[in-house]
Amino acid sequence: MQKNMSIIGVPMDLGQNRRGVDMGPSAIRYAGVTERLENLKYNINDLGDVPVSRPDEKDHVQDGNLRNLQQVSDSNRQLAEWVDEQIGKDRFPLVLGGDHSIAIGSLAGIAKHYDNLGVIWYDAHGDLNSGETSPSGNIHGMPLAVNLGIGHERLANILDYTPKIKPENIVIVGARSLDPGEKELIREKGITVYSMHEIDRLGMSRVMAETIDYLKEQTDGVHLSLDLDGLDPEEAPGVGTPVIGGLSYRESHLAMEMLSEADILTSAEFVEVNPILDDKNKTATMAVGLIGSLFGEKLK
Ligand SMILES: NC(=[NH2+])NCCC[C@H](N)C(=O)O
Ligand SMILES: [Mn+2]
Ligand SMILES: [Mn+2]
């Protein structure tokens, strides 16, 4: 694993309609992410936060079924440039959200450095909607589709190329809430999904072993996009779109430890921490615990 790492915060809450997720980066920093990584001998450069405009009804007009399109796309373009620059400097980008719409910018900045970027989408949701299929108009439900080149040009064409990733290089882990249009896209594109059903049947250990083997074989880099709502809301309550029946903290820890051992990750992001909905910063603290394991913390 690259020991030089850059942390980038994205206080984005315009990709959905519950306020508070903009405080996610602060909450994760407050829970001690930098110290945790420095203890593991990483050289950390925290670049601060990408600018995000504040919700203001006057200039936040909805474009068709895409809420705050302009503001979401502007911040994501900047995020893409920041991430791109860090990879250019040979630094591992660790992006802290913010709602999941920020995966549009992070992947735009990352994917141009790889021919076959793999993506592990750890999430209760598929985030495979477009303006046409979305039941909510919330862009945080669309980033994975956008990265496949499906969606508004202002989102899909950030940094002037599209698509960012190939459907066969995606593995979704933890899904339990998929909209009809998302199911159709998964079938049509043949995207690998380990839903809660497969995780219950096979166990997280086998699911991650298969995921790692599969991605190792055919990709030249792997990005982890971890939405905290992949975890069960009883354990991680500080998220805007909770879905019951999720992954436990232990299962998630195991997944991170196995990724750390396999040493395949080249970038990562942790998103959707909403401190307003949280219980004493528990969800952000959990995110930092997972980050610790992902980057090499061991019990012995
Ligand atoms: N990143 C997330 N938490 N996404 C939730 C998406 C929920 C729903 N599928 C929608 O498109 O509105
Ligand atoms: Mn989600
Ligand atoms: Mn998500």
Our answer to whether residue 127 is catalytic in this structure is yes
DSSP 234-292: TT----SS--SS-B-HHHHHHHHHHHHHHT-EEEEEEE---GGGSSTTHHHHHHHHHHH
Choose the catalytic residue: 13, 74, 99, 229.
Answer: 229
Domains and CATH numbers, the chain: 4-294 (3.40.800.10)
Query: Under DSSP, is residue 138 helix (H, G, I), strand (E, B) or coil?
Result: coil
Contact between residue 223 and residue 267 where contact means Cβ atoms under 8 Å apart: yes
Q: Is the dihedral of CA 170, 229, 94, 299 positive or negative?
A: negative
> Rounded mean pLDDT of 246-268?
98
Q: Which atom of ligand 1 is nearest to the CA of 178?
A: 9
Sign of the torsion angle spanned by Cα atoms 265, 293, 201, 237: negative
84 is catalytic: no
Active site residue 49: no
Task: Considering the candidates 74, 227, 251, 269, report the single residue annotated as catalytic.
Answer: 227
pLDDT category of residue 54 using cuts at 50, 70 and 90: confident
Query: 254 with 212: CB under 8 angstroms?
Result: no
CB 151 within 8 A of CB 107: no
Predicted complex ipTM exceeds 0.85? yes
Count Cβ atoms below 10 Å from residue 34 Cβ, excluding itself.
16
pLDDT of 57:
58
- Residue scoring higher pLDDT (188 or 2): 188
- When pLDDT is averaged across residues 28-41 and rounded to a whole number, the result is 98
**Residue nearest atom 11 in ligand 1 by C-alpha distance:** 141
